[in-house]
């Protein structure tokens, strides 16, 4: 017959395991590893979000330069062409889909510029699809928005600013158009 060890044998095995330094290091690592992994994922995700935000700002600045110098107006750029230009600047980091919005408004002076919120109270886009390039000496507000999907589940409550677990990326540029038209000597 098989002999079943007595209670003293089990106690001494557990006592030896408790005094074994390798086992305690393994247990400590098992307790710390999930926190370390979460911290690492958070650092990577936030870094990618900052990089995407910077990329979006560069795209907004590029479009703003086309409008400010009159290249967009003299070339009769359409809203689809401006959106295509933004998509080319942000690809492949930010997908060119329904989350990406370009909003361009023209005003007669800086005091008339209205920064309307891009999101409603439920976190959905409001009308952020205006397209008015203005003319020489107009003040123009160029805004570019994107809904970035938050990938790390534990960070979702902290980073989500939009409906659907998305984080709003927002870039803007406000400027006065140059006097690019003939007959306009200064603004």
The model's pLDDT over 117-154, given as tens digits with 9 standing for 90+, comes to: 888 988 888 877 889 999 988 999 999 999 999 988 88
pLDDT surpasses 60 at 83: yes
- The mean per-residue pLDDT over the stretch 89-106 comes to 93
Better pLDDT: 184 or 117: 117
pLDDT computed for residue 11 by the predictor = 60
Percent above pLDDT 70 for the chain: 88
The answer to the question of residue 184 being in a domain is no
The model's confidence at residue 78, banded by pLDDT at 50, 70 and 90, is very high
pLDDT at 187: 78
**Could you tell me which of 140, 142, 138 has the C-alpha nearest to residue 181?**
138
Could you tell me if residue 185 is inside a domain?
A: no
Q: Which structural domain range is residue 36 located in?
A: 10-176
Whether residue 3 is contained in a domain is answered as no
Contact between residue 125 and residue 166 where contact means Cβ atoms under 8 Å apart = no
Question: In this predicted structure, what is the pLDDT of residue 9?
Answer: 57
pLDDT at 71 over 90: yes
Kindly state whether residue 112 falls inside one of the protein's structural domains. yes
Q: Check residue 17 and give its pLDDT.
A: 55
Q: What is the 3-state secondary structure (H, E, C) of the chain?
A: CCCCCCHHHHHHHHHHHHHCHHHHHHHHHHHHHHHHHHHHHHHHHHHHHHHHHHHHHHHHHHHHHHHHCCHHHHCCCCHHHHHHHHHHHHCCCCCCCCCCEEEEEEECCHHHCCCCCCECCCCCECCCCCECCCCCCCEEEEEEEEEEECCCHHHHHHHCCECCCEEEEEEEEEEECCCCCCCCCCC
Q: Residue 10's pLDDT is what?
A: 57
Query: Average of pLDDT values for 7-11?
Result: 57
Query: How many domains does one find in the chain?
Result: 1
In a domain, 172, yes or no: yes
> What is the pLDDT confidence band of residue 186, given thresholds at 50, 70 and 90?
confident
In a domain, 118, yes or no: yes
Instruction: For residue 157, tell me if it sits in a domain.
Output: yes
- Tens of pLDDT, residues 24-44: 788 888 899 999 998 999 999
The answer as to whether 46 is a domain residue is yes
């Amino acid at each position: 017959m098989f002999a079943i060890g007595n209670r003293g044998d089990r106690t001494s095995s557990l006592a030896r395991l408790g005094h074994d330094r390798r086992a305690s290091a393994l247990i400590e690592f098992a307790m710390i590893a999930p926190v370390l992994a979460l911290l690492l994922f958070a650092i990577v995700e936030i870094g990618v979000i900052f990089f995407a935000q910077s990329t979006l700002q560069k795209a907004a600045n590029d479009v703003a330069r086309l409008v400010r110098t009159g290249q967009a107006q003299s070339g009769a750029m359409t809203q689809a062409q401006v959106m295509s230009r933004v998509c080319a600047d942000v690809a492949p980091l930010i997908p060119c889909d329904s989350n990406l919005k370009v909003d361009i408004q023209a005003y007669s002076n800086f005091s008339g510029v209205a920064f309307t919120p891009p999101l409603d109270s439920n976190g959905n886009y409001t009308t952020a699809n205006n397209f008015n390039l203005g003319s020489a000496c107009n003040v123009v507000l160029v805004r570019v928005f994107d809904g970035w999907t938050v990938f790390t589940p534990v960070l979702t409550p902290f980073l989500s600013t939009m409906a659907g677990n998305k984080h709003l990326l927002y870039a803007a540029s406000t400027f006065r158009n140059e006097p690019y038209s003939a007959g306009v000597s200064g603004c």
